[in-house]
Amino acid sequence: MKVTRVRPFCFADDAGRKYFIVKVETDAGIHGLGEVGIPNWGGPVAQALEQLAELVTGRDPFATEALWQEMFRAGFFPADKVYSCAISAIDIALWDIKGKATGLPVYKLLGGPVRERVVCYPHVGGTNTEELLRSCQAHMDAGWQFVRWHLPGEPILEPREAVPACVDQIAAIREAAPDVGICLDVHTRLDSAHTMDLCRRLEPFNLFFIEDPLRSENPGSYRSLARHVHVPIAAGEQWSSKWGFREVIEEELIQYARIDLCIVGGLTEALKVTHWCEAHYIDIVPHNPLGPVSAAAGVALCMASTNVGVQEMPRAPGSYATDLFPQQIDWADGYARCSDVPGLGVELNEALAEERRVPLNSWVPRVHRRDGAFSNW
């Protein structure tokens, strides 16, 4: 069996959510699906996919490690984040092909089930604390055991205002739901001083973790947090290979690794980061703000790994975009599970995806300080 074609699909669902799916085809009539981790960078990622297709076309899709190494290093200069997104999508699709060709779900190819299902957290929100409380309660009533929202402050983020506002929100949620797991996403928007202030104020509320409080360019900046705060820290969604995680794993600067399988280099690279984390007793919390393919890959990894905290799942699988993805993984009572369908267990309605194509390039919302300075997203 040989790879014959790499096809990108960039489209949106009825709610306007954008997806960048990659289909890898073979001469055996078996195909696999992958997903791009930064769909807003669709233009450059599409160019990277076109070039990488030259490497994988005509090759054995079972040779995932060899193909990963060539895609990452064959240009002499190691792959950057754009190319890592493209590599991730192709690599995940190759694992999907391997599962379909062998008649096995991907999680069994990764080592088999360590657990029967994977606990997940949803995205909740509201424009004020009352709305946030209602959103949390609605999700808990639906079976979710965790809630997650982000630091308040859009489109104006002033840390001295956002930090106390966030503390008030968490105090209200903790009072209303003493046992729920609380995950706070800071979206890399604070500097060290404001992060320390936030973490110290939140220590009494028993958070599950605070996610990405600092920008990702300098992983060593987490050393100061490790020395001065006592709240579990999760980080890593922006790192595009195992090397981005090196310092924080080896020096044990974080408690949870936020691996994004659609950015880090796919399942092949995510497995390596996961096993590296295991040696340091760091649990993984796969980053998954995307669609059904990303969700299936993350849950497959979690089902086959021992060191798992929780899986990000913005919306329950099967509750959205079912016209575009008529087959998705299973979800019930706050847990996701990959079925025993061969491969990832996700299928794409290609004809509808073609009809709903959207421009490759787009932008995320931009946040500013009151003085007009640009803040991080």
- List the domains of the chain with CATH numbers: 3-104 (3.30.390.10), 108-343 (3.20.20.120)
Q: Does residue 31 have an active-site annotation?
A: no
Strand 31-35 relative to strand 18-26: parallel, antiparallel, unpaired? antiparallel
**What was the pLDDT predicted at 376?**
83
Radius of gyration of the chain (CA): 20
Q: How many whole angstroms separate alpha carbon 211 and alpha carbon 188?
A: 8
Give, in order, the Cα–Cα distances in Å from 309 to each of 114, 200, 256, 295.
Answer: 13, 22, 7, 15
**Alpha-carbon gap, residue 155 to 369, rounded angstroms:** 9
Residue among 224, 225, 265 at smallest CA distance from 245: 265
CA distance 196 to 194: 5
Ordered DSSP codes for 331-355: EETTEEE--SSSBTS-B--HHHHHH
Options 31, 139, 187, 194, the catalytic residue: 187
368 classed as catalytic = no
Asked whether residue 364 carries a pLDDT value surpassing 90, the answer given is: no
31, 139, 194, 287: which one is catalytic? 287
Q: Which pLDDT value is given to residue 145?
A: 98
Per-residue pLDDT at 154? 87
**Predicted pLDDT of residue 299:** 98
The band of 175, judged by pLDDT with boundaries at 50, 70 and 90, is: very high
Q: Kindly indicate the confidence band of residue 365, based on its pLDDT and cuts at 50, 70 and 90.
A: confident
pLDDT reported for residue 279: 98
Distance (Å, rounded) from C-alpha 134 to C-alpha 126?
8
pTM: 0.97
- Tell me: the pLDDT tens digits for 227-249? 999 999 999 999 999 999 999 99
d(CA 133, CA 4): 51
In whole angstroms, give the CA distance from residue 227 to residue 211.
Answer: 17
Helices (H) then strands (E): counts for the chain: 12, 13
Burial class (CB in 10 A: 0-12, 13-18, 19+), 127: exposed
